[in-house]
């Protein structure tokens, strides 16, 4: 399997009036061709920040403090603005949580897809043909009619499909989906996840799926990375991680999920709070909440070690 995206030692800081927020620290992961990789974590863990950094779309006060991002061997951080312009959309596409906010309300959805297709120097006629094709790819019914619709005329699920079609119209190799189904109803969510899986199976598109919903990951992803307070704490094949979690945070998080009935007991909770990332603690960032904390945990940062079954974990404890 070829590596498509290689993120090495990525660290991202944000300058604020209260100090420098070390939002992401020393993150390493790869995404292969034809693979869906899920990045999960709770709010503030840095998953969206990483996504934006891949497209070099960080906020003005954000900066990549360390590390490299390689896409098909190219160093993304060294590309010029001009090269980035053709890079975004063509090599990597991105869809967001709320399609209503990301679609232009005064343009037809067909027109918006057309705009991005025209960036590839094809005739208008050919481009319109492609628009209809791509609408059919994401299973938008009555595609010839729908290209003339405005976003407000479409339901949430349809808008998200339109958004996806816009992003895949130029056949990017990687699609970043940032909480694509959080705002949608469960049955619509199921349909959108099906579309995303289709992208991988039929169009060889890899997907970086960012979500806080483990269920979505279970349905869709091949591999998973678990983030906590800016660190990647665990990574591996989805069901390997679910069935055999190594990191204490992952273990506790899995137990906090309601998968039982109340008669079977109370949900497990994680004591304490996420540390302040302006002055992150020495050592492991989870140490103040970890039930298995040892002395070394508060002093030295754990390495991201590899375990059998391509399972990675950054923890000082010896795991079986």
Q: Specify the residue, 77 or 270, whose C-beta has the smaller distance to other proteins.
A: 270
β-strand partners of 209: 38, 177
Site string for other proteins, 196-215 (x = CB under 8 A): ----------------xxxx
- Supply the DSSP string of 105-139, one letter for each residue: TTS-HHHHHHHHHHTT---HHHHHHHHHHHHHHTT
Closest separation in Å from C-beta 209 to other proteins:
12
Closest separation in Å from C-beta 186 to other proteins:
5
Closest separation in Å from C-beta 272 to other proteins:
10
Q: Specify the residue, 29 or 228, whose C-beta has the smaller distance to other proteins.
A: 228
Q: Specify the residue, 192 or 199, whose C-beta has the smaller distance to other proteins.
A: 192
Closest separation in Å from C-beta 320 to other proteins:
21
CB 21 within 8 A of CB 14: yes
Instruction: Give which of 300, 266, 308 is closest to 284, Cα–Cα.
Output: 300
- Residue 268 binds other proteins, judged by CB under 8 A: yes
Q: Of the candidates 239, 292, 295, 303, which one interacts with other proteins according to CB under 8 A?
A: 239
- Supply the DSSP string of 13-66, one letter for each residue: EEEETTEEEEEEEEEEEEEETT-EEEEE--TTSSHHHHHHHHTT---TTEEEEE
Closest separation in Å from C-beta 268 to other proteins:
7
- Residue 278 binds other proteins, judged by CB under 8 A: no
- Residue 186 binds other proteins, judged by CB under 8 A: yes
Closest separation in Å from C-beta 43 to other proteins:
6
Closest separation in Å from C-beta 296 to other proteins:
25
Q: Of the candidates 260, 278, 296, 300, which one interacts with other proteins according to CB under 8 A?
A: 260
Classified as helix, coil or strand, 74 is strand
Burial grade of 171 (CB within 10 A; 0-12, 13-18, 19 or more): middle
Q: Specify the residue, 37 or 87, whose C-beta has the smaller distance to other proteins.
A: 37
CB 124 within 8 A of CB 118: yes
Tokens of 53: 């950094």
- Residue 142 binds other proteins, judged by CB under 8 A: no
Q: Of the candidates 78, 269, 308, 320, which one interacts with other proteins according to CB under 8 A?
A: 269
Per CB under 8 A, contacts with other proteins among 39-68 are 42-43
State the Cα torsion 110-115-116-121 to the nearest 10°.
120
Per CB under 8 A, contacts with other proteins among 63-122 are none
Instruction: Give which of 285, 96, 59, 262 is closest to 178, Cα–Cα.
Output: 96
Quote the radius of gyration of the chain (alpha carbons, Å).
21
What's the rounded Cα separation, in Å, for the pair 264 and 245?
Answer: 21
Closest separation in Å from C-beta 153 to other proteins:
12
Q: Of the candidates 95, 252, 277, 284, which one interacts with other proteins according to CB under 8 A?
A: 252
Classified as helix, coil or strand, 67 is strand
Per CB under 8 A, contacts with other proteins among 218-237 are 218-219
Residues in contact with other proteins by CB under 8 A are 42-43, 155-158, 185-190, 193, 212-219, 239, 242-243, 252-254, 256-262, 266-270, 273
């Amino acid at each position: 399997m070829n590596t498509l995206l290689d993120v090495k030692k990525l660290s991202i800081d944000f300058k604020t009036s209260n100090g420098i927020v070390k939002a992401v620290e020393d993150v390493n992961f790869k995404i292969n061709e034809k693979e869906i990789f899920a990045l999960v974590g709770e709010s503030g863990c840095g998953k969206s920040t990483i996504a934006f950094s891949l497209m070099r779309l960080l906020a003005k006060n954000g900066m990549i403090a360390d590390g490299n991002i390689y896409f098909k061997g190219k160093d993304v951080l060294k590309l010029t603005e001009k090269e980035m312009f053709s890079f975004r959309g063509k090599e990597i596409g991105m869809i967001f949580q709320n399609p209503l906010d990301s679609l232009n309300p005064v343009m037809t959805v067909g027109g918006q897809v057309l705009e991005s297709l025209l960036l590839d120097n094809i005739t208008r006629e050919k481009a319109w043909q492609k628009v209809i094709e791509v609408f059919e790819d994401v299973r938008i019914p009555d595609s010839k009619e729908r290209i003339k619709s405005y976003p407000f005329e479409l339901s949430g699920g349809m808008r998200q499909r339109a958004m996806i079609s816009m992003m895949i119209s130029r056949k990017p190799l990687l699609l970043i989906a940032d909480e694509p189904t959080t705002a949608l109803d469960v049955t619509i969510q199921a349909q959108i996840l099906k579309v995303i899986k289709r992208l991988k199976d039929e169009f060889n598109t890899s997907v970086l799926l960012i979500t806080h919903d483990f269920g979505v990951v279970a349905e869709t992803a091949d591999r998973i990375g678990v983030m906590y307070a800016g660190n990647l704490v665990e990574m591996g094949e989805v069901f390997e991680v679910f069935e055999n979690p190594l990191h204490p945070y992952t273990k506790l998080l899995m137990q906090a999920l309601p998968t039982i009935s109340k008669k079977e007991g109370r949900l497990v909770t994680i004591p304490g709070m996420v540390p302040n990332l302006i002055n992150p603690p020495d050592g492991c960032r989870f140490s103040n909440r970890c039930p298995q904390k040892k002395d070394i945990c508060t002093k030295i940062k754990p390495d991201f070690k590899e375990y059998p079954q391509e399972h990675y974990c950054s923890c000082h404890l010896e795991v079986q």
